[in-house]
A = this chain, B = another copy of it.
Amino acid sequence: MPRSFLSHLECPQCGTTYDADIIHHLCACGSPLLARYDLAAAAREVSPADVSRRAPSLWRYRELLPVRTDACEVTLGEGMTPIVPLVRAGTLHRLAHLYLKDEGLLPSGTFKARGAAVGVSRAKELGAKVLVMPTNGNAGGAWAAYAARAGLRAVVVMPELAPLITRHECAVMGSHLFLVDGLITDAGRLAGRAAAQAGWYDVSTLKEPYRIEGKKTMGYEMAEQWGWSVPDVVVYPTGGGVGLIGIYKALQEMQAMGWIGPKLPRFVAVQAAGCAPIVRAWERRAAVSELWADAATVAFGINVPKALGDFLVLKALYETDGRAIAVPDAEILAAQQELARQEGLFVCPEGAAALAAAIHLREEGWIADGDQVLLLNTGTGLKYPETVAAQPAVIPADGELPVDDIRG
């Protein structure tokens, strides 16, 4: 049995197909390409029960991943992040079946590790030597790590305002790091030009077809953890949108293989009020988004003014009776505090935005009483110290704690 049932690449816009074993970036028509598998053959050879017996990493779904040889699997043990119930926050907001998948528990502390693990593995397999990418920080940290593990060079370009710790991640991994006095779109332009000039492998979001294959494992895991079923609503913080597209792709693959039934979750794309191009497009029932001017939000990971895969995100929303919603930064920070104080979870602002959105949608009635709601927390709050104020008192070593001021 082959390790992977990858069969070809396909353009979701014009239908053109490409050989998956040759390096391709975008389709000739300008669209991203998607990896396709011989799902019928995969379904004959592997079952949900088989994968459930394997080690708890995203590679348990290897037949549905694009890496053909064991030697090219570049792994730090990533995957099978927990889904935790949010009983107290749920009760507070009349969300009786509220859950959070905690992607903070991955190498580099964010869901970006999934795309990097699979993307770097496949880049290595295809013979790439230098990877170049724009990033809002977290993808850079993740790709720098996996590139180092693979023995590849990484060139990372991030906005000056990206989370500081992501600079340290890139630096410690020995990657070439540049800051740009601008947004991720500016970083993308710089990276794209350099890639063309030097012949580097451009791993910008959706400019190569394998990052999304890593991200889609969130969907496989979700279904497996849900007992090979799905929740009613999936709430996803949306910047480039690859996670959402990936989860949807995974569900469609699992349906084709008979691993899950016909039910799909309603997808919610959450954006920050300061950068909400997908929300604006969804409100107009548009097929694509328009560049958002003067984008700014504390949830820096979703500060993406225009996403290459916007049409795929919108398609997923329309096809699942889903929706897009924007939440202001103040509500994002309040939700972050609430998840910590009520649930013991220090999430990134992007993940907190998912809770803020769910609260709105419940109030509106869009989320109904019995709905099972899954929030995706895309990363750990440890990477965002500036979102939390801490001014503790200093006690001399020979002093006393102010016991009387503290009550149980």
- Of B77, B82, B400, which one neighbours A57 at CB under 8 angstroms? B82
Contact string, A146-160, partner B, CB cutoff 8 A, digits 1/0? 111111010101001
Q: Which residues of B contact A200 (CB under 8 A)?
A: 408
Cα(A200)–Cα(B404), bound, Å: 12
Cα(A226)–Cα(B151), bound, Å: 27
Task: Tell me whether A191 is interfacial, beta carbon within 8 Å.
Answer: yes
Instruction: Given A194-B400, A400-B190, check contact A153 B105 (CB 8 Å).
Output: no
Q: Which residues of B contact A145 (CB under 8 A)?
A: 340, 344-346
Task: Tell me whether A109 is interfacial, beta carbon within 8 Å.
Answer: yes
Q: Which residues of B contact A189 (CB under 8 A)?
A: 397
A401 near B56 with CB under 8 A, answer no
Q: Give the interface size bracket for A toward B.
A: 35 or more
Q: Which residues of B contact A401 (CB under 8 A)?
A: 155, 157, 178, 190-191, 193-194
Task: Tell me whether A181 is interfacial, beta carbon within 8 Å.
Answer: yes
- Among A78, A88, A157, A383, chain B packs the most CB atoms within 10 A around the CB of A383
Cα(A180)–Cα(B181), bound, Å: 40
Contact string, A27-46, partner B, CB cutoff 8 A, digits 1/0? 00000000000000000000
How many copies, total? Answer: 2
- Of B56, B149, B181, which one neighbours A394 at CB under 8 angstroms? B181
A119-137 contacts to B (CB < 8 Å): 129-130
A343 near B149 with CB under 8 A, answer yes
A395 near B179 with CB under 8 A, answer yes
A80 near B56 with CB under 8 A, answer yes
Instruction: Given A82-B77, A403-B194, check contact A388 B171 (CB 8 Å).
Output: yes
Cα(A107)–Cα(B301), bound, Å: 20
- Of B82, B157, B388, which one neighbours A168 at CB under 8 angstroms? B388
A354 CB to nearest chain B CB (Å): 17
7 closest Cβ pairs, A-B complex: A77-B82, A149-B344, A182-B397, A171-B390, A56-B56, A129-B408, A186-B397
25 A-B residue pairings within 8 Å (CB atoms): A56-B56, A76-B345, A77-B81, A77-B83, A105-B105, A145-B345, A150-B344, A157-B401, A168-B381, A168-B388, A169-B381, A169-B382, A171-B389, A172-B341, A173-B340, A176-B406, A178-B392, A178-B393, A179-B394, A181-B396, A181-B397, A190-B401, A194-B401, A197-B403, A198-B406
